[in-house]
Amino acid sequence: MIGSNSGRTIVMAHRNNQSSFSEISPSEFFYRNRDLAGFSNPAKALYTATRELVENSLDACESTATLPKISVKIRYSEEERHEQDPRTYVITVQDNGNGIDPRQAPNAFGKVFYGSKYRLKQARGMFGMGGTMAILYGQITTSKPVTITTSTDGREFHTFRLLIDIQNNKPIILSRSTRRGVGSSGTSVEMLLHGDFFRASAKIRDYFRQTALVTPYAEITFIDPQGRLWYFPQTTKTVPKAPIETKPHPHGFDFEAMRRLLKQTDESSFPKLLMNEFHRVGKQTARNFLTFAKFDLRTDPRKISNEETVRLVDAMHQFDGFLPPDSNCLSPLGTEILKAGIVSELQPEFYSIAIRPPAAYSGYPFIVEVALAYGGKVIGEGVRLYRFANRVPLLYDEASDVAGQVVSELLDRRAYNIPREAPLAVITHVCSTKIPYKSVGKEFLAERPELEKELKNGLRETLRQLKSYLSRKGSIEAVQRRKNIYGKYLPLIAQFSQSLSGAKRPPKYQGLIKDYDDELAIKVEQIAKTKKRTEGQI
């Protein structure tokens, strides 16, 4: 028997050669493992908490296709204003989403695993635990409650002050009040936590900047502790279509999930269970599959043994008769949004966008979007990679990320005639019902071959467009240069040759320069056409 003498820790017992786990509260589990969730030090904690709250807000707005207006404020707590970092900070995040039903609000923020996201749906956070983790961390480090104000109609505003009962994973409501007013729906969260803004500020700013790059439809205001305002205006009214919730695809389903499903279900018909619980499984497919898996169609799925469950799951992974996952549930950014974000945040000379067709790995559909921004004054020299997964910027561990590897492998400046040191930004966005993160930290994506292939194809596509732009631009510059050089030297040659020959009038050579004006006009027209065509394609 391994474990401590406290009643609710992990206990592993050996019974009949089978391992089983006694449960601990999810809150307690996360408290013990806060490093994994991105709260390893005061600087990272401040960044992660800000980010989780902002992402909750963005998700809330997008789920109802509302143009998000998010305002974020980080300030020193009154008591520790004059202390050195790390110290206590107050974070306030307010959105204009649809608000939270007051009956569910305490649980939504005070209970781990109580999000609206514990289903298969493309969303920024997974399982809705990020916001609660932030609150939990704040409570642990400051012993202060969190204040949540929410309104679903813009008329009734409900305010709660909560603490989390860590051991029992439930909210402790310290106070609640309701007031009437006139405003918009939405939610505001104010919490305290022990953080280090001095060390976190660069990451937090990067986070906002990159978020703005893929959410140009949002207006984001950020006021930092020194009172500086960072404003990211809304530059497009196009909101990505709200992601649709979807059932899991059999190819991605694992043993543990199947075990739980069979334990919970009331369905006694095997084919019906498959049809109800899985993505794109119809009557015929269910029958074909069960035959393939060597199950009698009349077997009661609730009664199969562990060994049979293993056989069932293995068969699910091997059977190739399932329809591929439907990408309807995915919400890629799309050309309009990427374009608006790139134009307003990076102000490049040229950009190209490639949106790949939907693909799937292990039964999870995904779409890769790659954009390339070239030149301009905002991107620095060299190559910058901006990685996004379900619209969340990934700021750490670029080198370990599959996108980082694809870029360093494919981006050969010479092959694509890209001038050395020319500013270049690569933007990769992967959206999926399940992002293949390599670690719990949600900072870099694993090298799934399907994903790698789509990233490569997307990057190649954008690079080819850039190459063709550069070569056209190069040829215009060459003609322009030619014209300038002729314009400079021919008059001199004319002058001296006239003097040498003793001719009475200057030679008529102007036609030689005019030819180049015509050529230039044709080329400029060509490149304008290309730009249009490129944009049309993407």
Partner 1 sequence: MPKQRRGPKDRSSNRKVELKAILQELGKKVYDSLDSNQFPSMDFPSRSVKNIVYDAKAKQYVLGSRKVTRSASNIKHIRPFTQLTWLAFFATQLVGQEKTSTLRDVYYSSQAYDIEFDDQSESDSIITDLETVISRAREELNIYPEERSAIFGDLDIEYTVRGYEGKRLNLSSHPDGYLIGPSLSSAEFVDTSAEMVIAVEKGGLFTRFVEEKVHERFKAIIVDTAGQPPRATRYMLRRLHDELNLPVYIMTDGDVYGEHIAMVIISGSARAAHLRDLTVPSGKWIGIWASDIAKYNLPTIPMNEVDIKRVHDLKADPRYQKGIWPRELDTFLKIKRKCELEAFSKFGLTTIVDKYLPEKLEIAKSL
The site for partner 1 (CB under 8 A) is made up of 481-482, 485-486, 489-490, 492-494, 496-503, 507-509, 511-512
- Nearer residue to partner 1 within complex by CB, 80 or 519: 519
Task: Kindly state the smallest distance separating residue 475's Cβ from partner 1, in Å.
Answer: 13
- Nearer residue to partner 1 within complex by CB, 13 or 503: 503
Q: How far apart are CA 210 and CA 121, in angstroms?
A: 23
Residue 380: CB atoms within 10 Å: 11
Q: How far apart are CA 510 and CA 290, in angstroms?
A: 84
Task: Kindly state the smallest distance separating residue 484's Cβ from partner 1, in Å.
Answer: 10
DSSP calls for 90-136: EEEEE--S----TTTHHHHHHSTT-SS-SSB---SSSTT-HHHHHHH
Task: Kindly state the smallest distance separating residue 413's Cβ from partner 1, in Å.
Answer: 25
- Nearer residue to partner 1 within complex by CB, 476 or 490: 490
Q: How far apart are CA 72 and CA 95, in angstroms?
A: 9
Q: How far apart are CA 190 and CA 467, in angstroms?
A: 49
Q: Where are the beta strands (DSSP E) in 196-291?
A: 219-223, 229-232
- Nearer residue to partner 1 within complex by CB, 5 or 501: 501
- Nearer residue to partner 1 within complex by CB, 249 or 523: 523
CB 210, CB 378: distance < 8 Å: no
Q: Which of 109, 104, 112, 108 is nearest to 169 (CA)?
A: 112
Task: Kindly state the smallest distance separating residue 478's Cβ from partner 1, in Å.
Answer: 8
The helix/strand/coil state of 398 is: helix
For residue 73, CA distances in Å to 129, 134, 159, 302, 391 come to: 21, 15, 19, 51, 21
- Nearer residue to partner 1 within complex by CB, 11 or 520: 520
Q: Give the strand pairing for 186-195 and 18-22.
A: unpaired
- Nearer residue to partner 1 within complex by CB, 294 or 481: 481
- Nearer residue to partner 1 within complex by CB, 82 or 488: 488
- Nearer residue to partner 1 within complex by CB, 304 or 494: 494
DSSP helix, strand, coil percent of the chain (3-state; round to 5): 40, 20, 35
Task: Kindly state the smallest distance separating residue 349's Cβ from partner 1, in Å.
Answer: 25
- Give the tokens for residue 450: 């399907």
Task: Kindly state the smallest distance separating residue 518's Cβ from partner 1, in Å.
Answer: 14
Task: Kindly state the smallest distance separating residue 73's Cβ from partner 1, in Å.
Answer: 59
Whether the CA torsion 236, 221, 61, 347 is positive or negative: it is positive
Task: Kindly state the smallest distance separating residue 476's Cβ from partner 1, in Å.
Answer: 15
Task: Kindly state the smallest distance separating residue 500's Cβ from partner 1, in Å.
Answer: 2
Q: How far apart are CA 535 and CA 86, in angstroms?
A: 48
